[in-house]
Amino acid sequence: MRRRLAAGNWKMNGTRANLDELRALVQAHPSPGCDVLICPPATLLERAARLCEGTAISCGGQDCHTEPKGAHTGDISAEMLVDAGAEYVILGHSERRADHGETDDMVDAKVQAAWRAGLVAIVCVGESEAQRDAGDTLKVVGAQLAGSLPEGADGDNVVVAYEPIWAIGTGRVPTLGEISEVHDFIRAELTDRFGPETADSIRLLYGGSMNPGNAAEIISVANVDGGLVGGASLKAADFGAIIDALSA
Ligand code: PGA
């Protein structure tokens, strides 16, 4: 059985004052019915992890370098994330792919770095609006999946997040049928590559404008095992409502 995961991605949002929201979330959800993860900016990771110590809420990073240490100004290694209290790291988010030119090969190498440090990698895939309009969604997602996931992926070291780029931060959400088509496809691709037992153990998250109003119906789709939530993860009340929907 795959345990559902509510993962919050704060992106480049939040200073120490925002930890009050995390404090409220922790207090309101002592024993959630799903796994809960918050990925704050790196500047808050250690504080957030301390705050979550001994609770049901985990913390994670939003990116990592491939090397454990060295002359890479501004970068953060997977080992450093672990040292700060991370258990997960988001890799290959479309904003990283767009802002920093991250390729599938680079994401694959980062996943291996995450595993080296003992982190669970949340690998993001998803098509642009133009790619969807051209009918290329499954081709694009299939190629990203094949290129970004190293051999050895399983349910303990990887989570896959399907995030259509046009749905991120826009308030536009695919139909349940569109979500279902892509999630079924990802499960089938994982089955082809890793075999049914391993493929069935890997959680598939939906991401892109998930909110308290649509979380329940999105999680009802087969092969959706949770959500990767941006904007709605910043407020304890909103993210708490999503956790409740995923716990039902
Ligand atoms: P959003 O972001 O929920 O604000 O659309 C999701 C994401 O990019 O992970």
> Structural domain boundaries of the chain?
5-247
Predicted confidence at residue 41, as pLDDT, reads 98
Predicted confidence at residue 203, as pLDDT, reads 98
Residue nearest to ligand 1 atom 3, measured at CA: 230
Q: Which residues contact 149 (CB under 8 A, 6 or more apart)?
A: 108, 111, 123, 158, 160, 193
Per-residue pLDDT of the chain (248 residues; tens, 9 = 90+): 899 999 999 999 999 999 999 999 999 999 999 999 999 999 999 999 999 999 999 999 999 999 999 999 999 999 999 999 999 999 999 999 999 999 999 999 999 999 999 999 999 999 999 999 999 999 999 999 999 999 999 999 999 999 999 999 999 999 999 999 999 999 999 999 999 999 999 999 999 999 999 999 999 999 999 999 999 999 999 999 999 999 99
Which pTM was predicted?
0.98
Pocket test for ligand 1, best of 38, 229, 238 (most atoms within 8 A of CB): 229
163 is catalytic: yes
What is the dotted CATH code of the domain comprising 5-247? 3.20.20.70
CA–CA distances in Å: residue 134 to residues 11, 129, 131, 139? 29, 9, 5, 11
Predicted confidence at residue 1, as pLDDT, reads 80
127 is catalytic: no
Interval 100-125: pLDDT, tens: 999 999 999 999 999 999 999 999 99
Q: Are strands 5-9 and 226-229 parallel, antiparallel or unpaired?
A: parallel
Structure tokens at 205: 């998250």
Instruction: Enumerate the β-bridge partners of residue 88.
Output: 60, 120
Closest CA to 216 of 207, 228, 229, 226: 226
Residue nearest to ligand 1 atom 2, measured at CA: 230
Q: Cα–Cα distance between 207 and 169 in angstroms, integer?
A: 10
Secondary structure of 144-211 in HEC code, one letter for each residue: HHHHHCCCCCCCCCEEEEECCHHHCCCCCCCCHHHHHHHHHHHHHHHHHHHCHHHHHHCEEEEECCCC
Say if residues 147 and 111 touch (Cβ distance below 8 Å). Answer: no
The position carrying tokens 């998803």 is 126
Q: What residue type is assigned to position 204 of the chain? A: L
Q: Cα–Cα distance between 82 and 154 in angstroms, integer?
A: 20
Q: Cα–Cα distance between 3 and 151 in angstroms, integer?
A: 23
**Would you say the C-alpha torsion 1, 181, 138, 170 has a positive or negative sign?**
negative
Predicted confidence at residue 68, as pLDDT, reads 98
Say if residues 228 and 90 touch (Cβ distance below 8 Å). Answer: yes
How far does residue 38's CA lie from ligand 1's centre (Å)?
13
Counting Cα atoms < 13 Å in the Cβ hemisphere of 168 gives 20
Interval 185-203: pLDDT, tens: 999 999 999 999 999 999 9
